[in-house]
Chain A
Amino acid sequence: MTGGVPGTGLACPIVACATDVVQLGHGSGGKLSADLLREHILPHLAGQNAAALTDAAVLPLEAGSWAFSTDTHVVAPLEFPGGDIGALSVHGTCNDLAMMGARPACLAVGLVLEEGLPLALLDRVLESLGAAARGAGVRVVTGDTKVVERGKADGMFITTTGIGRLDAGFAPAPARIGAGDAVLVSGPIGRHGVAVMAAREQLGFETDVVSDSADLWPLVERLRTACPDAVHALRDPTRGGLASALNELAASARVGVELEERAIPVPGGVAGVCEMLGLDPLYVANEGVLVAFVAERWAGVALEAIRSHPLGAGAVRIGGAVAAHPGLVTVRTAIGSARIVGLLPGDQLPRIC
Chain B
Amino acid sequence: MKYLDEFRDGAAARALLRRIHATASRSWTIMEVCGGQTHTIVRQGIDELLAGAVEMIHGPGCPICVTPLAQIDKALALASRPGVTLTTFGDMLRVPGSGGDLLGARARGGRIVAVYSPLDALRLAQRRPETQVVFLAVGFETTAPANALAVWRARELGVENFSMLVSHVTVPPALRALLDAPGNRVQAFLAAGHVCAVMGWREYEPIARERLVPIVVTGFEPADILEGVLLAVRQLEQGRHEVENQYARAVRRDGNRPARELMARVFEPVDRSWRGIGEIARSGLGLRAEFARFDAERRFGLETIAPAEPEACRAGDVLTGRLKPIDCPAFGRACTPSHPLGAPMVSSEGACAAYVASGRLRAPAGAGV
**Given A204-B117, A324-B366, A334 and B139 contact (CB-CB distance below 8 Å):** no
Specify the chain A residue showing the minimal Cβ separation from B346: A349
A335 within 8 A of B: yes
A325 within 8 A of B: yes
Size category of the B interface is 35 or more
Complex contact B336–A345 (CB within 8 A)? yes
B93 within 8 A of A: yes
Residues of chain A contacted by B93 (CB below 8 angstroms): 349
Complex contact B116–A203 (CB within 8 A)? yes
Residues of chain B contacted by A346 (CB below 8 angstroms): 94, 103, 337-338
A278 within 8 A of B: yes
Interface string of A311-353 (1 = CB under 8 A from B): 0000000000010111110100111111111101110011111
Complex contact B91–A339 (CB within 8 A)? no
A275 within 8 A of B: yes
A202 within 8 A of B: yes
Specify the chain B residue showing the minimal Cβ separation from A324: B368
**Given A202-B120, A204-B117, A337 and B45 contact (CB-CB distance below 8 Å):** yes
* CA–CA, A322 and B4, complex, Å: 32
Residues of chain A contacted by B368 (CB below 8 angstroms): 256, 322, 324-325
Residues of chain A contacted by B44 (CB below 8 angstroms): 333, 335, 337, 339
- How many whole Å from B346's CB to the nearest CB in chain A? 9
Q: Which of A251-272 contact B (CB under 8 A)?
A: 256, 262, 268, 271-272
Residue of A202, A268, A327 touching B1 (CB-CB under 8 A):
A268
Complex contact B63–A352 (CB within 8 A)? yes
- How many whole Å from B272's CB to the nearest CB in chain A? 17
Q: Which of B337-369 contact A (CB under 8 A)?
A: 337-338, 347-349, 356-361, 364-369
Size category of the A interface is 35 or more
Residues of chain B contacted by A330 (CB below 8 angstroms): 359, 367, 369
Residues of chain A contacted by B90 (CB below 8 angstroms): 349-352
Complex contact B94–A342 (CB within 8 A)? no
Pick out which of these stretches binds chain A: B5-13, B211-219, B288-296: B5-13
A206 within 8 A of B: no
**Given A278-B348, A339-B359, A340-B361, A350 and B116 contact (CB-CB distance below 8 Å):** yes
Residues of chain B contacted by A324 (CB below 8 angstroms): 366, 368
Residues of chain B contacted by A55 (CB below 8 angstroms): none
Residues of chain A contacted by B10 (CB below 8 angstroms): 262, 333-336
Complex contact B45–A271 (CB within 8 A)? no
B97 within 8 A of A: no
Residues of chain A contacted by B140 (CB below 8 angstroms): 353
- How many whole Å from B222's CB to the nearest CB in chain A? 5
B169 within 8 A of A: no
Complex contact B114–A353 (CB within 8 A)? no
Q: Which of A21-36 contact B (CB under 8 A)?
A: none
Residues of chain A contacted by B17 (CB below 8 angstroms): 335
Complex contact A201–B116 (CB within 8 A)? yes
Complex contact A340–B116 (CB within 8 A)? no
**Given A334-B10, A336-B49, A352 and B139 contact (CB-CB distance below 8 Å):** yes
Residues of chain A contacted by B9 (CB below 8 angstroms): 334
* CA–CA, A333 and B47, complex, Å: 14
Complex contact A342–B359 (CB within 8 A)? yes
Residues of chain A contacted by B359 (CB below 8 angstroms): 328, 330, 339-342
* CA–CA, A273 and B367, complex, Å: 32
- How many whole Å from B39's CB to the nearest CB in chain A? 9
Residues of chain A contacted by B257 (CB below 8 angstroms): none
**Known contacts A268-B1, A333-B44, then 16 further A-B pairs from the complex at CB < 8 Å, ordered by chain A residue:** A325-B365, A328-B359, A330-B367, A334-B222, A335-B49, A338-B369, A339-B45, A339-B358, A340-B358, A340-B367, A340-B369, A346-B338, A349-B93, A349-B114, A350-B91, A352-B143
A-side residues, CB < 8 A to B, are 201-204, 256, 262, 268, 271-272, 275, 277-278, 322, 324-328, 330, 333-342, 344-346, 349-353
Jot down 9 A-B pairs with beta carbons below 8 A, ordered by A: A203-B116, A268-B1, A271-B1, A325-B366, A330-B359, A330-B369, A335-B14, A335-B46, A349-B94
